[in-house]
Chains A and B, each alone.
Chain A
Amino acid sequence: MGYPIEMQESIRKLEATRAFRLQQEIPRLTPEEKNRLLEQCHPDFRPDGMRPVRVGPNKGQRMQNELVDLLEAYSRIDPDRVDLSRIDYDVDVLVVGGGGGGATAALIAHENEARVLLTTKLRLGDANTMMAEGGIAAATQPNDSPYLHFLDTIGGGRFQNKRELVWALVHDAPLIVEWLKDLGAMFDTHPDGDLVVSFAGGHCRRRVHSCKDLSGMEFMRVIRDELWNRRVEVLEFSPAVELLLDERGRCAGAILMNLETREHIIVRARAVILATGGIGRLHPNKFPTTNHYGATADGLVIAYRAGARLLHMDAIQYHPTGAAWPEQMLGQLITEALRGNGAQLVNVHGERFINELETRDVTSSAIIREVRDRKNGVRTPTGMEGVWLDTPLIDIRGGEGKLDRMFAGIVHRFREYGIDVHKEPILVFPTQHYQNGGVEIDPEGRTGIPGLFAAGEVAGGVQGRNRLGGNSLVDIFVFGRRAGQAAALFAREGPSPGKLTLEHVRRYHRELAAEGIEKGRVSPLLLPDYTRPEVKERRYS
């Protein structure tokens, strides 16, 4: 298959400028230039993409439309029909979510002698963690420090991050790398055993540690294996559809739904950790997404209904390099580590247009400007447009074999479509990747609701308004561990849960009704629906 003729013409232009580009230095943008570019081109600034939410703790604040739809919706369950006296599980710590954050929290709570139940919507490990390619950021090198990592992270977040969270993040990051290594994760190493580190946008040092281009998968499968070894109890295909509070407003469990039998399961817990991930599958601004099938904002919805505050939900991350060709790979992640190791962004004429190691918000905006405003995009036969990511530069700079060594997954996936990334570039366009905000937490993962903790992508404040590459894998483990510890302690020393109630759901329903919001739409969404309208229309029953 490979590239069609029209696209090959542009590849020849790219090849012609390669020698020049290798020498070319593109200065970083000034803060003013960045702001202008973001306002012009970042999808967050599209006037029709967001609207104020009419109910709940963040009432009046603008958020992504697709999320507001789910917040302005009724519960999937009728509180009056639920028998809360029939408790199926009674545990110390309930972890909701089976990605990297949830699995870590469960492991650590279990280590702290809590009786733990982990419940998850799909299989254990089915989550964005599995798909994180690039790696984990930590200041482990002699020329680096947690201080510099702090500065990069908060600047990347446009100075809106909660500082105590960034502090916790960068402080624990090297400890996490050690923890993962001790669990048997296979990091990329130099022959002497030192860890290989790469750049990611916005970091002033090489500090992203990788396991080839399957870093998240490696961490996830190792932690999952350890959970299995410790025999931590896991319920699969059982998402939480509502949190339970007690009559003093403390979180005291959750209602789960068995996706296969549609039976509900009542869990009483002394502490609950939410680790349900992000919102990519809502397709903000109709963008394709790199996210997992399960990324449907469920945790945000149930926490919000229970009274938790959300932070920065108007800041969505679009990854600069989603695949734009072949069509079958549309929107899939092309790791930033390629740019971190020297691959350049190039337009249809063979020209660079941005320093490739700018932060993601800026780089994505620059690509959108290049294609949409400047008309310098490369067009595919299906009408999609993108810019080149010049991958052959990696072997040219780093010596033959580097692509195969570090990016075997990318090489393999494109080879399936007849594209040889050693010799040909990849066509890319921004794709939805991450929710920068989430449920507001403190450094121990506590939310505003006593007994409710959150960790990972569902939590907000760590990354400010824009996350740097490598900072997500470290976030889930740092706050997964902290939340696991804090929840176990809370379960041990906090007061016992009182009588379980769904009063908060009734209250929320009243609030919806008072705003004139009609019944009909329910949330959380649980599963995206990619069946066609033609099929849906004919489901008459």
Chain B
Amino acid sequence: MGESLIPIYIMGKRYEVPEGLTIMKALEWAGYQLIRGCGCRGGFCGACATVYRVPGNFRIQVGLACQTPVTPHMTLMQLPYFPVNKAVYDLDKVGSPLETLLQLYPEATRCLGCNTCTSVCPQKLQPMYYVAAALRGDFARAAELSFDCIMCGLCAARCPAQLVPYNIAIFVRRYYSKHMRPKPRHLKDRVAEIRAGLHDQALAGIAAASEEELKKLYLEREFEKL
């Protein structure tokens, strides 16, 4: 990698960059110091959505700049921000799942089933299906299907019905986790113990131990088996 240079077009302007670089590294190689359109550099944060075309394909393509390698004659533009609708709600004061969803995002029912969202998702999710599951009231399924969403905005940018699938999804997941999943018993018990001060004495004791004593206790720990 690094030896052979290929032409790419950044917002229409030609640069020669080494083959094999990601779009993000190619931008930097060309001389850009990124402010927008760059975040985790590892495919987690959705800051670096990019649209591009390659010769011989009439379709517009999309991807994450930090994950997508450049190819010869790629012409590209970053899409670091896309204005969307985000409903405001109080998770402690919500009604039944479906009713709340339709109140917050009434446009969800306008989904055309065109599946454009699926074809653009860099996480290979199927927003159409998680939106459909949410609309059926199957929040468990919708939460599961949307979990890997990095909120990059590409599905919303391309949706002809102007839905914001990922904002629907985060509401659904939060609702599901808070109101439809039990609170673990062991967690409730431990929190109650801590609130009642049951661990204070043990902690005070060890925090006051001499370094020698601490080292001894540390060495004597017994490990739970893998």
Measuring CB to CB, which residues of chain A are less than 8 angstroms from any residue of chain B?
Answer: 31, 122-123, 125-126, 130-131, 139-143, 145-148, 150-152, 154-155, 159, 163-164, 166-167, 170-171, 174-175, 177-178, 181-187, 189, 192-195, 199, 204-206, 211-212, 214, 217-218, 221-222, 225-226, 228-229, 231, 237, 259-260, 290, 292-294, 327-328, 332-333, 342, 357, 382, 408-409, 412-413, 416, 527, 529-532, 535
A237 CA to B39 CA in the complex, in Å? 12
A187 CA to B36 CA in the complex, in Å? 31
In the complex, residue of chain B having the shortest beta-carbon distance to the beta carbon of A329: B42
Ordered by A's residue number, 5 sampled pairs between the chains whose C-beta atoms are within 8 Å are A123-B39, A147-B206, A155-B218, A292-B41, A535-B30
A229-B88, A293-B41 are known contacts; what are 19 more A-B pairs with Cβ within 8 Å?
A126-B39, A126-B40, A131-B44, A146-B194, A167-B207, A193-B182, A204-B223, A204-B224, A214-B44, A222-B170, A237-B35, A292-B45, A293-B39, A327-B1, A327-B20, A328-B22, A412-B148, A530-B28, A531-B31
Contact A184 B39 (CB under 8 A): no
A interface footprint on B203-226 (CB within 8 Å = 1, 0 otherwise): 110110001001101110111101
- Please give the distance in Å from B85's CB to the nearest CB on chain A: 12
Contact B35 A206 (CB under 8 A): no
Contact B194 A175 (CB under 8 A): yes
Contact A140 B218 (CB under 8 A): no
Contact B199 A229 (CB under 8 A): no
Contact A221 B170 (CB under 8 A): yes
Contact B143 A186 (CB under 8 A): yes
- With A151-B206, A328-B22, A532-B29 already in contact, the answer to whether A186 and B173 are too (CB < 8 A) is yes
Cβ–Cβ < 8 Å partners of B45 in chain A: 125-126, 130-131, 217, 292
Contact B39 A342 (CB under 8 A): no
B109 proximal to A (CB < 8 A): no
- Please give the distance in Å from B4's CB to the nearest CB on chain A: 15
Cβ–Cβ < 8 Å partners of B20 in chain A: 327-328
Task: State which of B38, B40, B171 has its C-beta within 8 Å of the C-beta of A131.
Answer: B40
Stretch binding the partner chain, chosen from B50-58, B95-103, B127-135, B184-192: B184-192
- With A31-B219, A123-B39, A151-B218 already in contact, the answer to whether A222 and B174 are too (CB < 8 A) is yes
A interface footprint on B56-87 (CB within 8 Å = 1, 0 otherwise): 00000000000101000000000000000010
Contact A181 B187 (CB under 8 A): yes
Contact B174 A31 (CB under 8 A): no
In the complex, residue of chain B having the shortest beta-carbon distance to the beta carbon of A211: B147
Contact B39 A292 (CB under 8 A): yes
- Please give the distance in Å from A12's CB to the nearest CB on chain B: 26
Cβ–Cβ < 8 Å partners of B39 in chain A: 122-123, 126, 130, 292-294
Cβ–Cβ < 8 Å partners of B224 in chain A: 143, 199, 204-206
In the complex, residue of chain B having the shortest beta-carbon distance to the beta carbon of A290: B42
A166 CA to B42 CA in the complex, in Å? 31
Contact A531 B28 (CB under 8 A): yes
Cβ–Cβ < 8 Å partners of B148 in chain A: 212, 214, 408-409, 412
Contact A159 B199 (CB under 8 A): no
Contact A293 B40 (CB under 8 A): yes
A535 CA to B177 CA in the complex, in Å? 50
B114 proximal to A (CB < 8 A): no
Contact B181 A189 (CB under 8 A): yes
In the complex, residue of chain B having the shortest beta-carbon distance to the beta carbon of A409: B148
In the complex, residue of chain B having the shortest beta-carbon distance to the beta carbon of A141: B186
Contact A150 B207 (CB under 8 A): yes
Cβ–Cβ < 8 Å partners of A332 in chain B: 42
A125 CA to B204 CA in the complex, in Å? 36
- Please give the distance in Å from A254's CB to the nearest CB on chain B: 20
Contact A195 B187 (CB under 8 A): yes
Contact B31 A225 (CB under 8 A): no
A194 CA to B200 CA in the complex, in Å? 25
Contact A140 B43 (CB under 8 A): no
- Please give the distance in Å from A277's CB to the nearest CB on chain B: 12
- Please give the distance in Å from B64's CB to the nearest CB on chain A: 10
- Please give the distance in Å from B17's CB to the nearest CB on chain A: 11
Cβ–Cβ < 8 Å partners of A125 in chain B: 45
Contact B207 A152 (CB under 8 A): no
- With A140-B186, A171-B203, A357-B226 already in contact, the answer to whether A229 and B89 are too (CB < 8 A) is yes
Task: State which of B33, B173, B187, B217 has its C-beta within 8 Å of the C-beta of A177.
Answer: B187
Task: State which of B44, B90, B186 has its C-beta within 8 Å of the C-beta of A195.
Answer: B186
Sort A-B residue pairs by CB-CB distance and give the 5 closest, nearest first.
Answer: A184-B174, A155-B218, A193-B182, A535-B31, A184-B178
Cβ–Cβ < 8 Å partners of B91 in chain A: 183-184, 226, 229
- Please give the distance in Å from A176's CB to the nearest CB on chain B: 10
B10 proximal to A (CB < 8 A): no
- With A147-B206, A164-B207, A231-B88 already in contact, the answer to whether A342 and B177 are too (CB < 8 A) is no
In the complex, residue of chain A having the shortest beta-carbon distance to the beta carbon of B124: A412
- Please give the distance in Å from A465's CB to the nearest CB on chain B: 14
- Please give the distance in Å from A173's CB to the nearest CB on chain B: 9
Contact A217 B202 (CB under 8 A): no
Contact B215 A186 (CB under 8 A): no
- With A171-B194, A212-B147, A327-B20 already in contact, the answer to whether A130 and B40 are too (CB < 8 A) is yes
A226 CA to B90 CA in the complex, in Å? 9
A83 CA to B67 CA in the complex, in Å? 44
Contact B221 A167 (CB under 8 A): no
- With A181-B178, A181-B183, A186-B173 already in contact, the answer to whether A204 and B190 are too (CB < 8 A) is no
In the complex, residue of chain A having the shortest beta-carbon distance to the beta carbon of B204: A167
Contact B181 A193 (CB under 8 A): yes
- With A204-B224, A222-B174 already in contact, the answer to whether A228 and B147 are too (CB < 8 A) is no
